[in-house]
Structure 1
Amino acid sequence: MIKRPDYIKPGCSIGITAPSFGPSSEPYRSMYFLAKKKLEERDYKIIEGETLFKNDGIGINTDPKVAAAELMDFYKRSDVDAIISAGGGELMNETITNVDFESLKSAKPKWYLGYSDNTNFIFPLVTIAGVQGIYGPCISGFAKKWELPEEDAVSLLEGTKTEFSGYGQFVNPFTKQEENSEKQEEPVDYSTYNFDVPYEYNSEKVLTSFICESGRAVKADANTEIQMSGILLGGCVDVLANLVGTRFDNMKEFNKKYKDIIWVLEACDLTPMSYRRAIWNMREAGWFDNAKGFVIGRPLTAFNKEMMGADHYNAVTDVVGELGAPIIMDADVGHIDPMIPVVMGAEANVTARGNELEIKYL
């Protein structure tokens, strides 16, 4: 089975390293120190990596070899009980060029928490090293006022909660852009800026689910209950499609071993058209051969956008509908807040009815 790391508790040490982007500039620097303070107030010891405040890399905080060496060191150190990534970013794929996932098979498993570009580490951690990882907030995400999403992420690290539900509202970034366009932009003094505030919810969460039969996806009505059981796997599609066919693509072997997979996917920079191409790429590579279902988060760039008839719904449904597995879309996963933290590599039951989503770990 895929190994589950030991849970942590107050008094344990959390390592913060920057395998991609880090808090070397504002507002992330101020957010980092506030998040660090909150974790320390919870009685966690914070071990800072030297990569955190470096700023000599191209597209990432520092040289990929340096970032990889620190990541491997933190993962194998006995005085680091868990790792939270310093940030997302763009080029963590260059960092994992220098990560030996085979050697992590024999290392003591530990929790790694991060999302977006961190898919580069979490996905092969599960599929190659055989260790669970948490797709959830990076360290700056803990700077804000803690609400249920932040508490949920910590509860996964601490092992105090096994059932998670979606959230009732979300922050539509496009509505916020329209509001902000009417305001005069002024320089921000981050030394006095208040990050300790809750989410500015502005939209009601609406799930859109599909039943796939006879080679096509049909929208489910609000009273239809969708159930799926299997191993949760996925992350950011921008990253995943880029891994197809590389030495970090172990999906053929993974599919031989694990027959029931629930794909948890979301996208960041992809347009509806590039999103659709990426999903097609993964399907044609055989990644979805054992799919029991799909949980799809709200895509950041493609959300409610349309290009020549392609939108963020048919980018998925037209491509994977023929597989016959149910699809739950616009879930609270990914770049549009809030996000449900997800344990990739864990077995779970997923249920959706109307706008309610529940993930229950087994």
Structure 2
Amino acid sequence: MTIRYPRPLRPGDRIGVTSPSSGVAEKLRARLDVALRDLEQRGYEVVVGRCMDGSTHVSAPAADRAAELTAMLTDPTIRAVVPPWGGETAIDLLSLLDFEAIGRAEPTWVVGYSDMSTILTPLTLLTGVATVHGNNLMETPYRTPEGLKSWLDIVTAPQGEPFTQEPPGRYRTARFDDFVGHPEVRDFTLDAEGGWTRLDGDGEVDIEGRLIGGCVETLGPLAGTPYLDTSRFAGDEPLLVYVEACEDNAFTICRHLHGMRLAGFFDRAAAVLVGRTHAPDSPTLTQHEAVLDALGTLGVPIVADVECGHVAPYLPLVNGAGGRGGGRGRTGGRGELRRGDTAAPARGPRHPGAPP
């Protein structure tokens, strides 16, 4: 499938804010205001939608959320759409979104992770428009650690310019910061050390392919449906498939991954990247073991503890873009991949260590 990249975001452009899944509770509005001001101070005009209520697990009825998201993605004056965060049941939007109209419109950047995977991944698979699996709006005020990019770095990158990201070697053990008591927090508390871990063996890794993936808990229910057809999307190209677990125990993640594999989600995978997780192990199965149990028979490199999930800091990945990574790793969590490369929204010239 031909990938279409939205043009780079520029000061003066409009950014749409809506909640396709969960909205923002009143006690967290101060953090939302901080994030919105940050965008405005960078020179963007921010358009906040009506679907933002945080009193229940959804911001509005499904039809209203789908209509608002479709309207923003087909409005030529809105150049990017970012939600405050994910949620629980964005799956109820898929049959209501007008993917044909979105596919005909000029491409717009869509950003997010967690339950936003339910929207981002099908959007790229069905329309060929690149999307950004990266930090949400509420994480946007954080300073980006050295070696990583923010979603704003990526969507403002010049057309044709590749970029490189590297594991920072540190992560946060707490699930969340206190946005109620400290709405203006801007520095991650990265209180633990750890790099990337190769699960399937040892030795050099040199992987390359087109990126696609997302949250296991929200993509698992889409396995085998037209919304998650990676084989049609890939054609003859290899894929770098990434997955990450939010909160389900290892038994549940194992079942989800088996189901996704049986449905063909990993059929074109040249490698699998697995996000670092706070999700619990099960009594006789760890999260790493769950991945190997489900995907070890693929015969491709499996690299875990990547910063592409719910554990801060965040390494944004561009669905649909080409990517390349390399380095060394060991089974058992001691090895690190010293470099992870993801492609910019472009097809620029390649150089050693750069993606296509």
Which of the five TM-score ranges fits, normalised by the shorter chain? Answer: 0.7 to 0.9
Letter in 1 for 2:39: L
Contact 2:149 2:316 in 1 (8 A): no
Q: 1:357 aligned to 2:339?
A: yes
For residues 10-50 of structure 1, the C-alpha deviation after alignment (integer angstroms, 9 at most, x for no partner) is: 111111111111223322x1111101111111111111111
What one-letter code is carried by the residue in structure 2 that aligns with 1:17? T
Is residue 65 from structure 1 mapped to residue 63 from structure 2 by the alignment?
yes
Shift of 1:289: 1.1
Q: 2:261 aligns with which of 244, 260, 283?
A: 283
The one of 282, 289, 295 equivalent to 1:314 is 289
Matched residues in 2 for 1:146 and 1:277: separation? 34
Cα distance in 1, alignment partners of residues 79 and 183 from structure 2: 30
User: What is the TM-score with the length of structure 2 in the denominator?
Assistant: 0.87
Compared CA separation, residues 103 and 347, structure 1 to 2 (3 A): same
- Report the CA distance between 1:252 and its aligned residue: 4.1
Change (3 A) 1:199 1:59: same
Amino acid corresponding to residue 239 of structure 1 in structure 2:
T
Q: Show CA shifts across 1:52-91 (max 9, x none).
A: 2x346x5211101100000000000011011111221001
Q: CA deviation at 1:306?
A: 3.5
Structure showing greater radius of gyration is 1
Partner of residue 202, structure 1 = 191
Gap change, CA 1:297 and 1:151, over 3 Å in 2: closer
CA 1:291 to 1:145, structure 2 compared with 1: closer, same or farther past 3 Å?
A: closer
Q: C-alpha distance in 1, partners of 2:3/2:186? A: 37
Could you say if the C-alpha distance between residues 66 and 346 of structure 1 is closer, same or farther in structure 2, counting changes exceeding 3 Å?
same
**What do the CA deviations read for 1:292-338 (whole angstroms, capped 9, x no partner)?**
00111112313xx2422x11111111221211110111111110101
So what's the TM-score if we normalise by structure 1? Answer: 0.86
Structure-to-structure mapping, 1:69-218, within 5 angstroms: 69-145=67-143, 147-148=145-146, 151-159=149-157, 162-173=163-174, 190=180, 193-210=182-199, 217-218=200-201
Q: Which secondary structure state, in structure 2, belongs to the residue aligned with residue 265 of structure 1?
A: strand
Deviation, structure 1 residue 147: 4.5
Superimposed CA distance per residue, residues 114-169 of structure 1 (whole angstroms, 9 cap, x where no aligned partner):
10000111111111111110001111112345555885321101015611111120
**Aligned to 2:318, which of 330, 343, 349?**
343
- What is the CA–CA distance in structure 1 between the aligned matches of 2:223 and 2:300, rounded to whole Å? 21
The match for 2:248 among 255, 264, 270 is: 270
Aligned-pair RMSD on alpha carbons? 2.2
Assess, with a 3 A threshold, how the Cα gap between structure 1 residues 206 and 360 changes in structure 2: closer, same or farther. Answer: closer
CA contact (8 A) 1:24 1:61 kept: no
For residues 99 and 115 of structure 1, do their structure 2 counterparts lie closer, same or farther at Cα, with a shift above 3 Å needed? same
Residue pair 2:15, 2:79 contacting (<8 A) in 1 also = yes
The answer as to whether partners of 1:237 and 1:267 remain within 8 angstroms in 2 is: yes
**Counterparts of 1:251 and 1:231, CA distance in 2:** 11
Q: 5+ unaligned residues in a row in structure 2: which ranges?
A: 329-334, 344-355
Which residue does 1:235 correspond to in 2?
214
Aligned position for 1:11: 12
Does the 8 Å CA contact 2:270/2:301 hold for their aligned counterparts? yes
Q: Secondary structure at the match of 2:107?
A: coil
Q: Please, which of 324, 331, 336 is the counterpart of residue 306 of structure 2?
A: 331
Q: Distance in 2 between matches of 1:40 and 1:14?
A: 9
Specify every segment of 5 or more residues in structure 1 that has no aligned partner in the other structure, as ranges.
178-187, 211-216
Deviation at 1:250, TM superposition (A): 2.5
